[in-house]
Amino acid sequence: MANQTTNIALGTAVFGILAFIFGVIAENKKPEIGTPIMMKGYVLCKFPNDPTVALGALSIVALAISAAIGLLSVFFPYKGKSVPKSTLFHGMTMRVFFVVAVVVSIFAEAMLLWATITEGLHRALNKHDDMDYTCPTAKTGLFGGAAFLALDASLFWLVSQMLTMNARSDYLEEDDPKGSYGEVLTADYEANSAGRP
């Protein structure tokens, strides 16, 4: 189970970090405005060749994978043993972290989609009848804000996985590999008692 748990946690973290990195780079590479070129009867917007839209798309995909793996981590039957949902979500802490992970993932995905689609539309629809058009790009800060939300979402999924493992251990009454607290106290007491006259 340790390998399954580690692999799922690594998948959630790696794709969350990738979503963050792609989003931050997209924010840094995005030009503030395009260059308006006056044509006969319209304005043609020229934008520099930069990877903003591609990076935004990669960030969207990485976040979707991270959230999917995070969701899987909660409901995955580790060692083939399933636990009822009512048991997993019995504690308030687990419910709160799960809901926050879902909500933050949705907000991050929506912001990334909004920024990427807006940026793509600005570049695709670059002819404008308004002769005063200034050739704007996607709103500044959207990619960066979404990138930080993506990283937060992956962290909330990791906490949800830890809480899931605790709930599973309690339900299945699995032994803690570190031993129980009673054993530690008894061993310490016996060792101290043996040293006394």
Task: For residue 125, give the DSSP letter.
Answer: S
Q: What phi, psi does 43 have (nearest 5°)? A: -110, 130
CA pseudo-torsion sign 62, 65, 67, 70: negative
Domain count, the chain: 1
Compute, in degrees rounded to 10, the torsion defined by CA atoms 108, 111, 114, 119.
-100
How many angstroms separate the most distant Cα atoms in the chain?
A: 104
- Domain with 153, as residue range(s), is 2-195
Please list the pLDDT of the chain residue by residue as tens digits (197 residues).
Answer: 568 888 888 999 999 999 999 999 999 988 888 888 888 888 888 888 889 999 999 999 999 999 999 999 888 887 778 788 888 888 888 899 999 999 999 999 999 999 999 999 988 888 888 888 888 888 888 899 999 999 999 999 999 999 888 888 877 775 444 444 444 455 555 555 555 55
* Domain CATH for 123: 1.20.120
Separation in Å, CA 57 to CA 50, 130, 143: 13, 30, 11
SS3 content of the chain, % helix, strand, coil (to 5): 70, 5, 25
Alpha-carbon Rg for the chain in angstroms: 25
